[in-house]
């Protein structure tokens, strides 16, 4: 074989791609786009489920809360007073309007332990008021919990249908529903569990 022939053979083999490799490079972005497109229907389904689960609260978000009184009213009063007196969660302070005459001390340990749900709740109360802020966090907790489990289940099973069912079961279980009515923090902690697992 001549030197020119050897160069041609080497050039052909160096530039040649294994069969299917070009197709797989094109298939990866298409698969990612398909997986992203699955999020919108899943999110829509979970939003619809959250609205139905908490009805009639979505119709009157400024005057109605989802669930019984008790702890829910306590957390509303706590957020209202923190916002009105410009108290920052997890910073020591005393609210003079609660637990008179000494005032209620800020439970710093509790606020530090639940900062992932407390700061959004405090921010929503400051931006929209305590009732609307709480209601937005309840709705978003169901939706985000469902989406987080959907992503985890899809990653583990490679099945969008199975992931959709797993996300629904996780977001709208009886435990999530009971906690969403009373303790908003626990609904949002449901978001962190699948994210930490993945």
Domain identity same for 26 and 102: no
Domain identity same for 7 and 43: no
Determine the pLDDT at residue 156: 92
pLDDT digits (tens, 9 = 90+) for 58-110: 999 888 888 777 777 877 888 888 888 887 777 787 877 777 788 888 777 87
Number of domains in the chain: 2
Of 119 and 147, the one with more pLDDT = 147
The mean predicted confidence, pLDDT, of the chain is 79
Domain identity same for 83 and 139: yes
How large is the average pLDDT for residues 151-172? 93
Domain identity same for 31 and 8: yes
Domain identity same for 27 and 80: no
Domain identity same for 20 and 54: no
Determine the pLDDT at residue 181: 82
Domain identity same for 10 and 87: no
- Residue 167 near residue 147 (C-beta atoms within 8 A): yes
Domain identity same for 112 and 136: yes
What is the domain extent for residue 31? 1-37
How is 15-66 classified by DSSP, letter by letter? H---TTHHHHHHHHHHHHHHHHHTHHHHHHHHHHHHHHHTTTGGGSTTT--S
C-alpha span between 88 and 119 (Å, rounded) = 9
At 95, give phi and psi (nearest 5°): -95, 115
Domain identity same for 81 and 179: yes
- By residue count, the chain amounts to 198
At 104, give phi and psi (nearest 5°): -95, 125
| pTM confidence score | 0.73
Domain identity same for 83 and 26: no
pLDDT digits (tens, 9 = 90+) for 178-197: 877 877 777 776 666 666 66
Domain identity same for 175 and 120: yes
48, pLDDT greater than 70: yes
How large is the average pLDDT for residues 11-31? 52
Domain identity same for 15 and 105: no
């Amino acid at each position: 074989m001549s030197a020119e022939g050897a160069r041609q053979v080497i050039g052909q083999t160096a530039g040649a791609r294994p069969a299917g490799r070009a197709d797989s490079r094109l298939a990866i972005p298409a698969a990612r786009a398909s997986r992203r497109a699955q999020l919108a229907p899943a999110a829509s389904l979970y939003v619809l489920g959250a609205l139905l689960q908490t009805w009639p609260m979505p119709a009157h978000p400024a005057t109605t809360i989802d669930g019984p009184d008790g702890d829910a009213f306590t957390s509303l009063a706590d957020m209202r007073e923190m916002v009105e007196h410009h108290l920052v969660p997890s910073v020591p302070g005393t609210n003079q309007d609660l637990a008179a005459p000494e005032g209620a001390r800020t439970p710093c340990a509790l606020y530090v332990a639940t900062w992932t749900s407390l700061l959004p709740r405090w921010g929503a109360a400051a931006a929209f008021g305590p009732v609307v802020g709480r209601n937005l966090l309840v709705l978003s907790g169901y939706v985000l919990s469902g989406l987080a489990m959907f992503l985890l289940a899809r990653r583990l099973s490679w099945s969008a249908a199975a992931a959709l069912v797993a996300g629904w079961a996780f977001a709208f279980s009886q435990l999530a529903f009971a906690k969403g009515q009373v303790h908003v923090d626990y609904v949002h902690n449901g978001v962190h569990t699948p994210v930490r697992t993945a």
